[in-house]
Amino acid sequence: MSIAAVRRARRVEPARLFAYASFAMMVGGWVVFLFALIASRQTLDDVWTAVRGLPLALESLAWLLGFPFLVGLAIWNASWDEAVRLLAIAVLAVAYTYMFRPREPKR
């Protein structure tokens, strides 16, 4: 194997780097959500109130950038039973984390 072939094999493609970074942000976001859920449920309510109080353009941008987490906040602020809300958030977190997992490129 030539040196050029070894260098090409070691180089991480930008798409792969983006996949790993996206996955890390998704996992990190759900870890922060879980921490806030355990440590300070009032923080979740405060974040929801703050996002809902933004001007429409900024609220739309927040929804675009943090959609799964804001859906989690919406579920948390729903009037459902607490066990149902926790289950729905857990399903949402697992589903989005699974969707963002890095995959091997198809050849």
Has residue 1 got a pLDDT over 60? no
Has residue 13 got a pLDDT over 90? no
Kindly give, in sequence order, each residue whose CB lies less than 8 Å from that of residue 33, ignoring residues fewer than 6 positions away.
44, 69, 72, 89, 93
**Per the confidence metrics, is the pTM higher than 0.85?**
no
C-beta atoms surrounding 78 within 10 Å? 11
- Ordered by start, the domain boundaries in the chain are 14-99
Q: Is the separation of the CB atoms in 96 and 22 below 8 Å? A: no
Has residue 15 got a pLDDT over 90? no
User: pLDDT for 80-106, tens place per residue?
Assistant: 999 999 999 999 999 999 999 988 877
Is the sign of the CA dihedral 16, 27, 103, 68 positive or negative?
negative
More confident residue, 103 or 46: 46
Question: Cα(94)–Cα(79) distance, rounded to whole angstroms?
Answer: 22
| pLDDT given at position 10 | 64
Has residue 9 got a pLDDT over 70? no
| pLDDT given at position 88 | 97
Question: Cα(105)–Cα(20) distance, rounded to whole angstroms?
Answer: 13
Alpha helices, H only, 11-107: 14-39, 41-52, 56-65, 67-76, 82-99
Q: What is the dihedral of CA 62, 68, 73, 76, to 10 degrees?
A: 170
**Mean pLDDT rounded to a whole number for the chain:** 89
| pLDDT given at position 4 | 59
